[in-house]
Amino acid sequence: MIELTNIKNEGVQIVLVTKADLDSGAKSLSKDLELLKEFNFKAKGSFFSQQSKTLYIGIKDFSPNSLEEAALSAVNTLRELGVKSAFIDVDDAYSQILAYAFLLGSYKFDRFKSKDSKSKDKEEGDETLSISIKNASPSLLDEVSLISKEVCFVRDLVNTPPNIANSTYLAYVARDRSLERGVKNVTCNLYDNDFLESKNMGAFLAVNQASNFPAYLAHLIYKPTRPKKKVVLVGKGLVYDTGGLSLKPADYMTTMKADKAGACTVLGAFFAIAKLGLDVELHAIMGITDNAIGKNAYRPDDVLVSKEGKTIEVKNTDAEGRLVLADCLSYAQDLEADVILDFATLTGACVVALGEYTSGVMGFNEDLKASFVKASLEMNELAHTLPFNPHLKKLLESKIADVSNISSSRYGGAITAGLFLSEFIRDEYKDKWVHVDIAGPAYVEKTWSVNPSGASGTALRSIVNFVKHYIKG
């Protein structure tokens, strides 16, 4: 556990050292300059001076990435040294990124490690390490702690295996959280198959057909007294994606417990914003089901009728997320929002296009997309736009229905998935909608940036930051 404060100057001092500091013999190094020179200290290295109780961390520059790396390296060394409290005195502009790195970088998912295998790690990881960031305001630290808690909540939920986190589990996590003490102005409605049928959500229901569990549309509402805007978040909550009858090959099926990341992220962001008490009417809509095989499974060649009334020819049952989202986006548009943002681990093609670490941002409104990307980059979460075009849209034509659920070409799959969703966006909402494909960064099986192997909770910080800017206007 790491705890952040801004009061104490206790314990080990952390000093970030650039090559220039070393060459010029900067004042911050004066206590140990000779030792550091003798040690032949380099950027990225670390050196602990016993005599001055100072931990020097080499840093290439003060870019967000370098600051994150430095924070992670500091925590590792402090843990190795068995240090319980430390402090760092840096320019206030660096406080936020460091604070996030300290809190998010020390996450572990060990719920399923039995006691014996845990005890080895325990000595290092479980004791509280208190770090004080000298110039950081208490309100910044409170906010970073609150948001980081939600990111770790999302990571836990996404990492939870599918034999536990079935659709009912995920839906009731949403409900339970809405009843938590300290959560104000929040309601949660859980709707299952009967409701979806009454709303003609034939696309969403088809995906659920072979499941042993109900489909749920969870609708959470946060209504403060004087909201400045109305924002709707929609998330893909596939608690497991086998691919359905268009079954995934074994190697591609593992990690598909993470196909619920969109819904989990939207849930975490919802509670972050509600707890921060931002002046926004916020709705979170989670489309929850698994994509199973079985005698009742929906088939390639089926034709579905969506809530919008558009018919869909199913050509591949593994393109299921877009079916769930089509009906959820339709539901979202009935809420008369100022803006609708959806988050989904939608396509492997997005990972091919942008790499594992970057989310793909799509939609018709250039300004809205740009503000989402900006809000992401400010949090050092990578995001980039992918452009729609009419040639790709044509590839979704079906001979017998209004639209096919997959493109007739194997190229541009992230964009054709986005364009499929756009078929269900009404004209008056075309400029109020952004689609974010988080298939890459939501779950990476190696440590990167401030994220451990597994679920990252990516996009949560971007959403909160976007909403903050958006309500300022």
Report the interface residues with ligand BES, using CB under 6 A: 241, 259, 316, 318-321, 345-349, 351, 406, 413, 439
245 binds, among ligand BES, Zn ion, none (CB under 5 to 8 A by kind): none
- Interacting residues with Zn ion between 122 and 141 (CB under 5 A): none
Q: Which is nearer to ligand BES, 289 or 347 (CB)?
A: 347
Span of 44-52, 178-186, 253-261, 368-376 interacting with Zn ion by CB under 5 A: 253-261
> Catalytic site residue 248?
yes
Binder among 196, 238, 439, 455 for Zn ion (CB under 5 A): 238
Q: Does residue 262 contact residue 438 with C-beta atoms inside 8 Å? A: yes
Coil, strand, or helix at residue 119?
Answer: helix
Q: If you ran DSSP here, which 8-state letter would residue 30 be given?
A: G
Q: How far apart are CA 274 and CA 349, in angstroms?
A: 34
Closest approach, Cβ 405 to ligand BES, in A, equals: 8
Could you give the angle at the alpha carbon of 141 between the alpha carbons of 138 and 143, nearest 5°?
110
Cβ neighbours of residue 368 closer than 8 Å, sequence gap 6 or more:
339, 431, 432, 433, 434
Total residues contacting Zn ion (rule CB under 5 A)? Answer: 6
Q: Which is nearer to ligand BES, 220 or 455 (CB)?
A: 455
Q: Which is nearer to Zn ion, 65 or 212 (CB)?
A: 212
Closest approach, Cβ 259 to ligand BES, in A, equals: 4
Pairing of strands 443-444, 433-437: unpaired
CB atoms closer than 10 angstroms to residue 260: 32
192 binds, among Zn ion, ligand BES, none (CB under 5 to 8 A by kind): none
Closest approach, Cβ 248 to ligand BES, in A, equals: 7
What sign has the CA pseudo-torsion 415, 416, 419, 420?
negative
Q: Which is nearer to Zn ion, 68 or 241 (CB)?
A: 241
Residue nearest to ligand BES (CB): 348
Tell me which of 322, 393, 432, 461 is the catalytic residue: 322
Closest approach, Cβ 351 to ligand BES, in A, equals: 6
Q: How far apart are CA 86 and CA 222, in angstroms?
A: 38
Tell me which of 118, 175, 228, 248 is the catalytic residue: 248
Determine the straight-line distance between the first and last CA of the chain, rounded to whole angstroms: 37
DSSP for 234-291, written as a single string: EEEEEEEE--TTSPPPHHHHTTGGGGGHHHHHHHHHHHHHHHHT-SEEEEEEEEEEEE
349 binds, among Zn ion, ligand BES, none (CB under 5 to 8 A by kind): ligand BES
- Interacting residues with Zn ion between 309 and 348 (CB under 5 A): 318, 320-321
Q: How far apart are CA 343 and CA 367, in angstroms?
A: 18
316 binds, among ligand BES, Zn ion, none (CB under 5 to 8 A by kind): ligand BES
Coil, strand, or helix at residue 147?
Answer: helix
348 binds, among ligand BES, Zn ion, none (CB under 5 to 8 A by kind): ligand BES
Q: Which is nearer to Zn ion, 235 or 321 (CB)?
A: 321
Binder among 32, 241, 302, 437 for Zn ion (CB under 5 A): 241
> Catalytic site residue 37?
no
Q: Which is nearer to ligand BES, 59 or 460 (CB)?
A: 460
Instruction: Match 């970030």 to its residue by tokens.
Output: 16
- Alpha helices (runs of H) in 93-192, residue ranges in sequence order: 95-104, 115-125, 138-159, 167-178
Distances from the Cα of 228 to the Cα of 50, 282, 333, 444, angstroms: 54, 10, 19, 36
Closest approach, Cβ 452 to ligand BES, in A, equals: 18
Q: Which helix (H) or strand (E) segment is 326 a member of?
A: helix 321-333
Closest approach, Cβ 51 to Zn ion, in A, equals: 56
Q: Which is nearer to ligand BES, 64 or 413 (CB)?
A: 413
Closest approach, Cβ 349 to ligand BES, in A, equals: 6
Point out which residues bind Zn ion (CB under 5 A).
238, 241, 259, 318, 320-321
Just list the catalytic residues.
248, 322
